[in-house]
Amino acid sequence: MTKEKKSKLRQQIEGWVWALVVALFLRYFVLQAYRIPSGSMEDTLLPGDFLLVFKPVYGIEIPYTQIKFFQFAKPSRGDIVIFRFPLDPSKDFVKRCIGLPGDTIEIRDKAVYVNGRRLFEPYAIHKDANIIPALMEIRDEFTREEFQRMWEERELLDEPKVRDNLGPIVVPEKTYFVLGDNRDNSSDSRFWGPVPEKYLKGIPLIIYFSWDSHANNIFSSLRIQRFFQIPFIWPKNPYFVDEM
């Protein structure tokens, strides 16, 4: 092999290496592709929606660790967030942030109250008209503290009675309370407790592709009308019913 050919081959290899380095940098620190696996965020996000997730907003994380630095923002009430599932950090979940650290959250017959005020939630849907009675009546400070403990220690994981009636509970420091928009079909903070701030991964930037796996044919399975949509967030600081 001549020196000229060796030089060209070396340039090609260097080009491939740099392309790989840039791709890995973007993957670990800037953008990540994410597919919606379930219907817990319907109708905001549908199963088969493919998102680009912007990662640096909640801090730049060293790969394969939970060490972050340069946190640029924190979630606001109403934001859609991507995070590690607290019970299995190898899995990523997407939900809507409803409660911030220190907030008192209560759900009464499916209606969400934050700090005693009912949240106006046009994004939330309820497909089951039935209302499941509360697990327990919060009568005094003792029962309230006991319920708070059970919730924080994730003892309500398999308890269906917290779906429509919950709390009141207080969101601990450096954690967030999240709910799926499809309230009657969502595994979220009602059942498995708060999301630690260190588990936040990013926010969805755009739906770049959408595929309906249950469609009859390949043409109808493509949800072209959802391509390049920005996930709907309403509003940035959600209203309360008494403000309408």
pLDDT score recorded for residue 10:
62
* 186 belongs to the catalytic site: no
> Is the confidence at residue 154, as pLDDT, over 80?
yes
Per-residue pLDDT, averaged over 76-88, amounts to: 93
For 76, 121, 205, 206, the CA distances from 233, given in Å and listed in that order, are 11, 11, 11, 12
**What are the backbone dihedrals phi and psi of residue 48, each rounded to the nearest 5 degrees, phi first?**
95, -5
List, in sequence order, every residue forming a beta bridge with 202; answer none if it has no partner: 82
pTM (two decimals): 0.83
Which of residues 4 and 70 earns the better pLDDT score? Answer: 70
Per-residue pLDDT, averaged over 54-73, amounts to: 72
**Distance, CA of 104 to chain centre:** 20
Helical spans, DSSP H, in 117-162: 141-152
pLDDT score recorded for residue 194:
97
Length of the chain: 244
For 95, 199, 234, the CA distances from 175, given in Å and listed in that order, are 14, 9, 22
**What are the backbone dihedrals phi and psi of residue 201, each rounded to the nearest 5 degrees, phi first?**
-115, -35
3-state secondary structure of 190: helix
Catalytic residue among 3, 6, 7, 40: 40
Q: Are strands 111-114 and 104-108 parallel, antiparallel or unpaired?
A: antiparallel
In the chain, % of residues over pLDDT 90: 50
Residue 138 · residue 167 · CB < 8 Å: yes
Residue 211 · residue 227 · CB < 8 Å: no
* 95 belongs to the catalytic site: yes
Structural domains for the chain: 3-243 (2.10.109.10)
Catalytic residue among 95, 186, 201, 210: 95
> Is the confidence at residue 105, as pLDDT, over 60?
yes
Nearest-angstrom CA–CA distance, 99 and 76:
9
Q: With the C-alpha atoms ordered 138, 151, 160, 168, is the resulting torsion angle positive or negative?
A: positive
* pLDDT-wise least confident of 46-60, 151-165, 183-197: 46-60
Instruction: State yes or no: cis peptide before 43, omega within 30 of 0.
Output: yes
Nearest-angstrom CA–CA distance, 221 and 205:
23
pLDDT score recorded for residue 92:
92
Q: With the C-alpha atoms ordered 41, 43, 48, 54, is the resulting torsion angle positive or negative?
A: negative
